[in-house]
Amino acid sequence: MMHREIEDQEIIERYVRRKLAPDERHAFEEHFFACEECFEKVQATERFVAGVRDAASRGLLEDRRSADYERKASSWRAWMFPALAATSCASIVLAAITAWTLLFQIPRLHQQLNRASADVSAKREALSALQTQIASSTEVETNVPLVMLQATRDAQAPVREAVLPTGAQRLVLWMDVASGRYRTYGLEIYGTDDKPVETLKQLARNSYGALAVGLPAQRLQPGEFRIRLFGEEPSPASLLAEYKLRIRRP
């Protein structure tokens, strides 16, 4: 029997514990009686086993196991109870946070989301209206009707007539201004029964020394109009001219 085989198969321990088969025991005895190393190992193992048996017979091993168990149990309780308490506290805090979120935060977030959605919708509508307005204002209008007004203070003077064709969007009024004293001018337009129709301020002469004013066609219904021209700045303001205009539709 070789040392490698003895170590791998734990022959010495099994020999001391009487666990070897008869042929294995006989082979090992022939070996260790001639091998001083194995003989010493057998002796040491037998002394160790005898000491363990003696301690067990006195109850020393059971007491130690009991003491170890009690120490481990105390250590477990000392660790487990604070851990359970911390876990319980964490669960309570988490439940409180969840309840607060469900009761207060989520409804508030829904309200903010609804307000934001309403703001976005309003802005989209305003943008769409602005785009429509810009598109309509940038459309090129051809053959814009223009009427050149002549100042008059005579009630019997003939009335200047302008024809607004179907689809016309604006009517341009052209007024020659002889006085260059004023930097800005104002215009007041009155309809039937002297009802005010339009008031324009801060008008300036063009390079021809005249005022060219575009009026929305929808504000000029068929009928007679009285137009008054004022000098504004520098003050004092004063009436410069009056015009008569008749609007006709084809």
Q: 230 pairs with which residues across the strands?
A: 186, 239
Inter-residue contact 227 to 243 (CB < 8 Å): yes
d(CA 247, CA 219): 11
What residue type is assigned to position 97 of the chain? I
- Single out the residue in 58, 81, 99 at which a domain terminates: 58
Residue 160 lies in a domain: yes
Cα–Cα nearest to 189, from 219, 152, 234, 147: 219
**Separation in Å, CA 106 to CA 92, 95, 98, 244:** 20, 15, 10, 68
d(CA 151, CA 227): 9
The per-residue pLDDT string of the chain (250 residues; one tens digit each, 9 = 90 and over) reads 677 887 888 888 888 888 888 888 888 878 877 788 888 888 888 888 777 777 777 766 554 555 554 565 455 445 554 555 566 667 776 776 776 666 666 777 777 777 777 767 776 776 666 556 555 554 566 678 888 888 776 666 678 898 888 888 889 999 888 767 889 999 999 998 888 999 999 999 888 888 999 999 888 888 999 999 999 998 888 898 899 999 988 8
* Domain containing residue 38: 3-58
Cα–Cα nearest to 189, from 154, 212, 215, 159: 215
Residue 71 lies in a domain: no
- Single out the residue in 11, 28, 58 at which a domain terminates: 58
Q: Considering its fold, how many domains does the chain have in total?
A: 2
**pLDDT at residue 73 in the model:** 47
Residue 228 lies in a domain: yes
Is residue 228 within a helix (H) or strand (E), and if so which, with residue range?
Answer: strand 223-233
**pLDDT at residue 249 in the model:** 86
3-state secondary structure (DSSP) of residue 95: helix
What are the helix and strand counts (H, E) for the chain? 6, 8
Residue 17 lies in a domain: yes
**Separation in Å, CA 219 to CA 27, 138, 141, 245:** 131, 20, 17, 14
Residue 139 lies in a domain: no
Residue 188 lies in a domain: yes
**pLDDT at residue 203 in the model:** 93
Place of tokens 């003939």: 158
Residue 141 lies in a domain: no
**pLDDT at residue 187 in the model:** 94
The separation between CA 44 and the C-alpha centre of its own chain, rounded to angstroms, equals 79
Kindly give, in sequence order, each residue whose CB lies less than 8 Å from that of residue 75, ignoring residues fewer than 6 positions away. Answer: none
Write down the pTM of the prediction.
0.43
- Single out the residue in 15, 35, 58 at which a domain terminates: 58
Instruction: Show the tokens assigned to 99.
Output: 């309840």
Is residue 39 within a helix (H) or strand (E), and if so which, with residue range?
Answer: helix 36-58
Read off the CATH number of the domain in which 162 is found: 2.60.40.10
Residue 80 lies in a domain: no
**pLDDT at residue 9 in the model:** 83
**Separation in Å, CA 47 to CA 7, 17, 30, 52, 57:** 19, 12, 21, 9, 15
**pLDDT at residue 16 in the model:** 82
d(CA 172, CA 214): 4
| Number of residues written out for the chain | 250
